[in-house]
Structure 1
Amino acid sequence: MPALTTAESAAAEPPLADSYLDLLRRGGGGIAPPTTEGCCVQERELPLIDLSCLTSGGSSAREREARRVCADAMARAASEWGIFQVTGHGVSRALLERLRAEQARLFRLPFETKAKAGLLNGSYRWGAPTATSLRHLSWSEAFHVPLASISGTASCDFGDLSSLRSAMQEVADAMSRVAKTVAVALAGSLLLQGHRDHDHEAAATAASFPPGCDETTCYLRLNRYPACPFAADTFGLVPHTDSDFLTVLCQDHVGGLQLLKDARWVAVKPRPDVLIVNIGDLFQAWSNNRYKSVEHKVVANATAERFSAAYFLCPSYDSPVGTCGEPSPYRDFTFGEYRRKVQEDVKRTGRKIGLPSFLKQQPHSMTTARLDHKSKAPVAILP
């Protein structure tokens, strides 16, 4: 693809620098540079799990045992880390590179074109236009597209980027298979614990997990993190947990993803041959807190732009989240209720409260958290 001229490149960028400078002029509302938080961040290898045995379809005792070992390894990673890497996922590197090339073409469009309601049905997002502090500003842009818009179930305007639709559709289909495979294995690992006399019933329940999810309820998000001249003071994406069952992520070689592990930030080393899976809020609730919805962020890069694509496994808004077994610490709620409560909390307090709002017994610290919201960075609402 021909290189952009300086004028074309400038026209493509969202007004992130304007937002930064405006917040700086207003005092920043309490600056806490990401580099201050992450000065001692270590790069760690996440748990690495080969999914190929889960898709082999063999029925021998050895193959069944291999599937059980794989599922148990994922369950340990989901409990201890809330995130892990997978190989043997069946998503070709060539396909991901094709999507990345299409992403580059998409994000090189002029900002005014990207921000128009018509393109990809108004799914474009950038930065945090309502930020009141540099702690709230995400130096990034994205298209957060419902799968129904990609598949043609709902109409969607791709403009002149006709090849983008096919690349997004292939990646969404492939990541959907990965997400379903992982989700079923993780659900089965919990349901089968202590219920060996009801293996068939538990297996049938796991096979239909998660409830209310299909090709029309999930999302594919295309992300770009431009090089940031103020990287020391700026997040690429503010710390957050995902409001779904689980997320499947592919990232390029630049890196920048960090997660909270044992109260410390850990940098994830990028690898071109793996996909990253992280547990979302709904899976933590369904698992009765056995699996952890991991807090993560992206740090800004001073010299290089970064691309990633994420698949969000979400149910329909009216689907009850449910539980793997009673008693559950959470009251009954639907995905729609959860999203509305998160949005209300962000609007009212500036930050996401999330799962604690749905506990049957509200902790005393909830009141303190609401009173102290101005000292904390808000959490991105994803999806």
Structure 2
Amino acid sequence: MNLFVHNWSDGKTLPKSYIFPPEKRPGEHGLTLKTNQSVPIIDLSKAYADDAGRAEVVSQIMKASKEIGAFQVKNHGVPSKLLNEARTMIKEFFELPAEDKEKYISYSHKDIFALYTSNYNYFAEEIHFWRDVITQRCLPVEECAPYWPDKPAKYREVIGEFTTQANEVGKVLLELIAEGLGLERDYFEKSGLGEELDMNVNHYPPCPDPTLTLAVARHRDRSLITLVMQGDVAGLQFLKDGEWIPVDPMPDVFAVNLGNVMQVASNGLLKSGEHQAVTNQKVARESAAVFLCPGDDRVIEPAKGLISEEKPALYRPLQYHEFLAAHNRGRTHKLTADETLKSFLINQPTT
């Protein structure tokens, strides 16, 4: 446990192994933070009001998904009480004594529940991220929960209910996205592209100098769609037109971003949301990202309903495990998300 940031950090010391070079810091390549903009918030309850309300929500989702690859949703149906309880369980887990957490330490992608620091490849990294992380598989809950922590006492119960309800919100959003693309409403359910559910829980202790390090580097997700539960501390940012757009932290709102699988499935009509997380100098921050992903053997390809003579398929078919391996290689070799996706283009650009 001595490697974990929350165990050794005194709030004043920033080791060299956490200091990124200037071109990789939060304002990398001169990208600025656009504080007078935020990721749009969509009232999901309107989708159930009437046909006009549903059409309005679909239009808002499509606009955000094409422009930034991300949006926020309120009135999504997950009770505030449950969200607060989930945040409490997460906070209490990280506050447990080291001896209660040590048995969960793992740097293997295969474990149902793993606790680690920075990233899976911590021991090969030149520079570490200022975070400690939980990764857990969530479905089926009854099979996964026995591998989750038994402390705090209600962790399994609360997190099981939270991930189950977050998954239902994800399914609703996928139906709305399918409608917006002109596909059958149940396209993503039938395709199995969102059948697996994983969750990353990030704990970001206070950082002595947030301008020098990162909580999570600029990237795009491996998912079809991701739902993020935040608290009341800012940190998540999305890239739009060369500028970082902050996500206003609101406890009852999910931040939603499209992943690379959605960009492929939509034949490039929608973009995966490029994002990063920054640290805070005074307070700790937690977030929980719920990923709806394909099973390993599912075929990832553009939806046939989006392919025509005028709009041929951009990406070749591939199984998700191949897609995931390329995603992981890209992060290890510091490739951009665009560089990783280019390897799946049918007509790859010449250099």
What TM-score results when the alignment is normalised by the length of structure 2?
0.84
* Residues 143 and 187 of structure 1, relative CA distance in 2, 3 Å threshold: same
Please, what is the CA RMSD of the aligned residues? Answer: 3.1
Corresponding residue for 1:377?
none
Residue 187 of structure 1: CA displacement? 1.2
Which residue, out of 312, 323, 338, partners 1:338? 323
Counterpart amino acid of residue 315 in structure 1: P
Counterpart of 2:178 in 1: which secondary structure?
helix
Larger Rg: 1
Shift, 1:147, TM fit = 0.7
Per-residue deviation, 1:115: 4.3
Residue 160 of structure 1 aligns with which residue?
Answer: 151
Residue 57 of structure 2 corresponds to which residue in structure 1?
70
SS in 1 for 2:268: coil
Match for residue 25 of structure 2 among 13, 22, 33: 33
**1:191 Cα deviation from its structure 2 partner:** 2.2
Where in structure 1 are there 5+ consecutive unaligned residues? 1-7, 57-62, 193-201, 366-383
Structure with more of its chain in helix, by fraction:
1
In 1, distance between residues paired with 2:5 and 2:177? 41
Paired residue secondary structure (1:123): strand
Please state whether the residue corresponding to 2:322 is helix, strand or coil: helix
2: CA distance, partners of 1:358 / 1:290? 16
Equivalence map 1:352-363=2 (5 Å): 353-363=339-349
Give the aligned partner of residue 140 of structure 1: 131
Residues in 1 aligned to 2:149 and 2:78: alpha-carbon distance in whole angstroms:
24
Q: 1:16 to 1:285 in 2, by over 3 A?
A: farther
Which residue matches 1:280? Answer: 259
Residue aligned with 2:211, SS: helix
Structure 1 residues 231 and 112 mapped into 2: Cα distance closer, same or farther (>3 Å)? farther
The 1:30/1:167 distance shift into structure 2, 3 A limit, reads same
Work out whether 1:97 is the aligned partner of 2:90. Answer: no
Q: Provide the residue aligned with 2:314 in structure 1.
A: 329
Name the residue aligned to 2:223.
Answer: 244
Quick one: which amino acid aligns to residue 189 of structure 2? S
CA change 1:363–1:113 in 2 (3 A) is farther
Q: Flag the 1:33–1:189 CA change in 2: closer, same or farther, 3 A.
A: closer
> What per-residue deviation string (whole Å, max 9, x for no partner) do you get for residues 63-87 of structure 1?
2232222212211111112111111
**Structure 2 alignment gaps of length 5 or more:** none
CA, structure 1 residues 345+221, in 2 after alignment: closer, same or farther (shift >3 Å)? closer
CA distance change for structure 1 residues 54 and 246 in 2, over 3 Å: closer, same or farther?
A: same
Shift of 1:319: 0.6
1:38, CA displacement in angstroms?
6.0
1:123 paired with 2:102, answer no
The yes-or-no answer on 1:213 pairing with 2:213 is no
Letter in 2 for 1:90: G
Alignment CA distance shift 1:169-1:74 (3 Å): same
Within 2, Cα distance between the matches of 1:347 and 1:16?
A: 26
> 1:276/1:154 Cα in 2 relative to 1: closer, same or farther (>3 Å)?
closer
Residue equivalent to 1:371: none
Seen in structure 2, the aligned counterparts of structure 1 residues 320 and 23 have a Cα distance that, compared at 3 Å, is same
Q: Distance in 2 between matches of 1:337 and 1:11?
A: 31
Fraction of identical pairs, as percent: 26
1:107 corresponds to which residue?
94
The AA in structure 2 aligned to 1:260 is L
In 2, distance between residues paired with 1:108 and 1:38?
35
Corresponding residue for residue 151 of structure 1: 142
In the TM superposition, 1:46-61 aligns within 5 A as 46-55=39-48
Corresponding residue for residue 237 of structure 2: 258
For the residue of structure 2 that corresponds to 1:180, the secondary structure is: helix
> What is the letter of the counterpart of residue 187 of structure 2?
A
Partner of 2:180: 189
2-structure distance, mates of 1:159, 1:331: 44
CA–CA distance in 1 between the matches of 2:103 and 2:55?
49
Counterparts of 1:189 and 1:209 in 2: how far apart (Å)?
Answer: 17
Alignment partners' CA distance in 2, 1:156 and 1:77: 37
